[in-house]
Amino acid sequence: MSVIAPKFRLGYFLKGIFDNAFWILTIVTLAGIPAIQIVLFYLELPVIDGELLTAFLAFTWLFNPTMQVPLIKALIYSDLFRIVAFPGFGFAALIAAGTIFVERKMLAKLQLRVGPFYCGKVEGILQLAGDGLKLISKEIIIPAKADKPLFWAAPVLFVGTAAAFVALIPVAPGGWVVADLDVGLLAVFAVIGFFPIITILSAWSANSKFPFIGGIRALHQMVSFEIPLILSLLGVVILTGTLNLSEIVESQSSFPWIIFMPIGAIVFFTTMLAELERIPFDLPEAESEIVAGWLTEFSGMMYGLVQLGSYLKLYAFAALFVIIFLGGWTGPVFWPPLETELITEGIPIPNYAGDPILTVNAPGLPLLDQDPNEWVLQQQGELQYTSGQLLVSGVIWFVLKTVGVIFFILLPRGVFPRIRLDMLLHIGWYKLIGLSFVNIFIALGLVYAGVIGPGGIL
Amino acid sequence: MADALFLAISVLTIGSAIAALEMRSLVYGSIALMGTLGGVAGFYVMLDSPFVAMFQLAVYVGSIAVLILFTVMLVKRELIFKKIEDPKRKFAGIGLMLIVILALGAVIMDSGIKTISTDSDPVDFREIGGDFLTYYWPALILMALILAGSVMGALVLARREDTIENEQ
């Protein structure tokens, strides 16, 4: 007899299932369907193929093969998709999840260990899912004397601020960004400024010694490294004359700014490591001195949320480095163009002998183009690349560069020891600020010598 | 839509300003102050000047509020929760505030604010930068010198002879 379920009866089991089904059906009928209808009443639904999409039409089209492609296309170009899935939260969370696994495995290889090994047969690739399930199912323990509202709010605020940071990152040409601001870089600085507040508030609200020490250290570190961070990016702003991140990327179509601003790139990378609290700057979480720093009292999914937020932040910083110094999505377009016949006449499907017997007409193709007329223009030679081609190869270049930068962020963790607090402040206040001023003077020299910038040679 | 947003930001700003004054806990008071400063940033966004709004967020919420929080956390715990009740002062303060608000409102309404058109284009921050570097450059340099002087003065005041000798 199993100890886990000593009173197991098939009847009880079936009764449980039927009870659950009954209550789910009841609640959906009484509350779910009216709620969906109320939401649909206020939603602005798109017009597809000259017809206003209603809920009934959407359900009909879901099972109509010729209308599925336009429906998916309308979904992809909606704001909700941008916020939730592609350039926004989902994309960043996917990269963050990959980063966590790669970090553990790569550090293990660097230090001649095995790393995650047992979950999911092949090199432990399901370790992350297992950890996530564990975190969700664990109890959330609040310290007895903690300041409860702040303690609950801090992880959520941390993830929210990291997601706001992610929302400012343009991923592909053609406005693939959640919030395309004219003052995007300033918005990034404003968002970065929120992290120390949340850190110190969560550290204070835990009402415990280790989190408070960690929080004070995090505050020191973040506030003193924010200044070189802002100064190191000003050189690029002087050269491009804009604060819009998409325009900064477009200004690097022939060469990335790291060629002219290597000092700025080095300073920004160092401050990035410090803002992310990664080794060698992980004093706020120094596990050999103060348990886990300002994360000590978090348990269960609250800890999971803070970890998710910090890895979203890591992705966003790496993407910012790519956008400002490495040219973002620029790179050779290698995605081949589709043939016009596929769009105008349909997709021919051959039989076993190779003779086309059936033509599937898929209206709405190309899926990744906002304007299907671009295909016709490209066939006539008036347009070099369609936006679909640019999107696919742009995303691939962007992800490749970002993953490279993330690799260099992860690498010091396996190589360097933690530095002392006074060394950290010395680096931040003396060396990095001086170097970033040198960088600004290089930028000003390039502008006034007439090399780059408005009216320059390049 | 804009009116509802304006009302919401106004309620946030004024409500959190009152909360910042009335909260017993200093930490919650400074959080409410952050709400006020963020609400002011929201007003700047509504007034089509995102440049100023972002600087408001980065400087006031991001730095000044952190400074206030840091100071508050260094205060002794008894001082944080000390209760001072003085209804006379409270009413005097409210009266003074009303007088100041009325006077300022009269001055502002008397000025030419009514003739400003509301549908003009947003202010380009490049123009602001250009103005600063051409027409207002003496003021800019004066401000920079005053700031540098105050930072140097603070460094001199904060310098302690004994610790430096101990380190050597």
How many angstroms separate the Cα of A157 from the Cα of each of A191, A195, A306, A427?
Answer: 12, 9, 9, 30
- Chain A: give the shortest CA distance to residue B99, in Å: 35
> Which residues in A have their CB inside 8 Å of a CB on B?
147, 150, 181-183, 186-187, 189-190, 192-194, 196-197, 200-201, 204, 219, 223, 226, 241, 243
Q: Which residue in chain A is spatially nearest to B122 when comparing CA positions? A: A182
> For residue A154, which of A215, A220, A223 has the smallest C-alpha distance?
A215
Count helices and strands (H / E) in chain A: 19, 4
Asked if A194's CB is within 8 angstroms of B73's CB, the reply is no
Whole-angstrom Cα distance, residue A132 to residue A263? 39
Whole-angstrom Cα distance, residue B137 to residue A64? 67
Residues of B in contact with A196 (CB under 8 A): 62, 66
Q: Tokens 């742009």 map to which residue? A: A394
Asked if B62's CB is within 8 angstroms of A192's CB, the reply is yes
- Chain A: give the shortest CA distance to residue B86, in Å: 28
Judge contact between A199 and A234, C-beta under 8 A: no
Ramachandran bin of B131, using left for φ above 0, alpha for ψ from -120 to 50, beta for the remaining angles: alpha
Asked if B61's CB is within 8 angstroms of A200's CB, the reply is no
> For residue A206, which of A122, A148, A271 has the smallest C-alpha distance?
A148
Residues of A in contact with B61 (CB under 8 A): 190, 193-194, 197
Asked if A190's CB is within 8 angstroms of B62's CB, the reply is yes
Q: Which one of B44, B54, B128 would you mutate to disrupt binding with A, by most A Cβ within 10 Å of its Cβ?
A: B54
Asked if B51's CB is within 8 angstroms of A183's CB, the reply is yes
Residues of B in contact with A200 (CB under 8 A): 66, 69-70, 73
- Chain A: give the shortest CA distance to residue B114, in Å: 29
pTM: 0.81
Virtual CA dihedral for A30, A36, A38, A42, nearest 10 degrees?
180
Could you write out the three-class secondary structure of A316-347? Answer: HHHHHHHHHHCCCCCCCCCCCCCCHHHHHCCE
Q: Which one of B26, B28, B52, B66 would you mutate to disrupt binding with A, by most A Cβ within 10 Å of its Cβ?
A: B66
> For residue A403, which of A81, A163, A101, A123 has the smallest C-alpha distance?
A101
DSSP codes of every residue in A356-381: EEEEE--BTB-TT-S-THHHHHHHTT
Q: Tokens 């564990």 map to which residue? A: A134
Q: How many CA atoms lie within 13 A of B163 on its CB side?
A: 3
Task: Round the CA-based radius of gyration of chain A to a whole number and report it.
Answer: 26
What is the pLDDT, as a whole number, of residue A1? 47
Q: Tokens 């098939």 map to which residue? A: A10
Dihedral pair phi/psi, residue B61, rounded to 5°: -75, -40
Judge contact between A222 and A275, C-beta under 8 A: yes
Task: Round the CA-based radius of gyration of chain B to a whole number and report it.
Answer: 21
Give mean pLDDT, residues B118-145.
Answer: 81
Whole-angstrom Cα distance, residue A224 to residue A275? 10
| Positive or negative torsion for Cα A281, A124, A134, A86 | positive
CA A118 from chain center: how many Å? 28
Whole-angstrom Cα distance, residue A403 to residue A92? 12
What is the pLDDT, as a whole number, of residue B118? 63
Asked if A243's CB is within 8 angstroms of B27's CB, the reply is no
What is the pLDDT, as a whole number, of residue A184? 86
Q: Which residue in chain B is spatially nearest to A149 when comparing CA positions? A: B28
Band (B168; pLDDT cuts 50, 70, 90) = very low
DSSP codes of every residue in chain B: -HHHHHHHHHHHHHHHHHHHHH-SSHHHHHHHHHHHHHHHHHHHHHTT-HHHHHHIIIIIIIIIHHHHHHHHHHS-HHHHT-----HHHHHHHHHHHHHHHHHHHHHHHHTGGGG--SSPPPPPHHHHHHHHHHTSHHHHHHHHHHHHHHHHHHHHHH--HHHHHHH-
Residues of A in contact with B63 (CB under 8 A): 193, 223
> For residue B69, which of A47, A205, A52 has the smallest C-alpha distance?
A205
Asked if A219's CB is within 8 angstroms of B63's CB, the reply is no
pLDDT by residue (tens digit) across B20-57? 888 777 788 888 988 999 999 988 888 878 888 888 88
In this structure, what token pair is assigned to residue A14? Answer: 């079936």
Ramachandran bin of B143, using left for φ above 0, alpha for ψ from -120 to 50, beta for the remaining angles: alpha
Whole-angstrom Cα distance, residue A344 to residue A129? 44
Q: Which residues contact A82 (CB under 8 A, 6 or more apart)?
A: A88, A176, A177, A178
How many angstroms separate the Cα of A232 from the Cα of each of A267, A269, A395, A440, A443?
Answer: 6, 10, 26, 7, 11
Q: Which residue in chain B is spatially nearest to A190 when comparing CA positions? A: B58
- Chain B: give the shortest CA distance to residue A165, in Å: 13
Q: Which one of A157, A197, A426 would you mutate to disrupt binding with B, by most B Cβ within 10 Å of its Cβ?
A: A197
Regions of chain A short of the pLDDT cut 70: 1-6, 49, 338-345, 361-376, 379, 453-458
Residues of A in contact with B27 (CB under 8 A): 147, 150, 201, 204
Judge contact between A322 and A400, C-beta under 8 A: no
The H-assigned helical ranges of A193-260 are 194-205, 209-240, 245-250
- Chain A: give the shortest CA distance to residue B83, in Å: 19
> For residue A162, which of A312, A5, A294 has the smallest C-alpha distance?
A312
> For residue A406, which of A106, A10, A46 has the smallest C-alpha distance?
A106
Strands A356-360, A347-350: pairing is antiparallel
Whole-angstrom Cα distance, residue A156 to residue A154? 6
Asked if A197's CB is within 8 angstroms of B65's CB, the reply is yes
Minimal Cβ distance to A197: which of B66, B125, B126: B66
Instruction: For A9-21, give one letter per residue: b (16+ CB within 10 A) or e.
Output: eeeeeeeeeeeee
Residue A280: is the preceding peptide bond cis (ω within 30°)?
Answer: yes
Cβ atoms within 10 Å, residue A377: 13
- Bridge partners of A47, per DSSP, are A52
Whole-angstrom Cα distance, residue A190 to residue A443? 24
Minimal Cβ distance to A187: which of B54, B73, B125: B54
In this structure, what token pair is assigned to residue A5? Answer: 């379920």
Judge contact between A322 and A398, C-beta under 8 A: yes
Judge contact between A197 and A157, C-beta under 8 A: no
In this structure, what token pair is assigned to residue B14? Answer: 């004024």
> Which residues in B have their CB inside 8 Å of a CB on A?
27, 31, 34, 50-51, 54-55, 57-58, 61-63, 65-66, 69-70, 73, 125-126
Judge contact between A432 and A260, C-beta under 8 A: no
Minimal Cβ distance to B125: which of A150, A183, A196: A183
Amino acid at A325: F
Asked if B61's CB is within 8 angstroms of A192's CB, the reply is no
Residues of A in contact with B31 (CB under 8 A): 150, 201
Judge contact between A208 and A257, C-beta under 8 A: no
Examine the predicted complex and report whether its ipTM is higher than 0.95. no
Give me the helix-helix angle, A89-110 and A148-167, nearest 10°.
100
The H-assigned helical ranges of A241-279 are 245-250, 262-275
Asked if B51's CB is within 8 angstroms of A189's CB, the reply is no
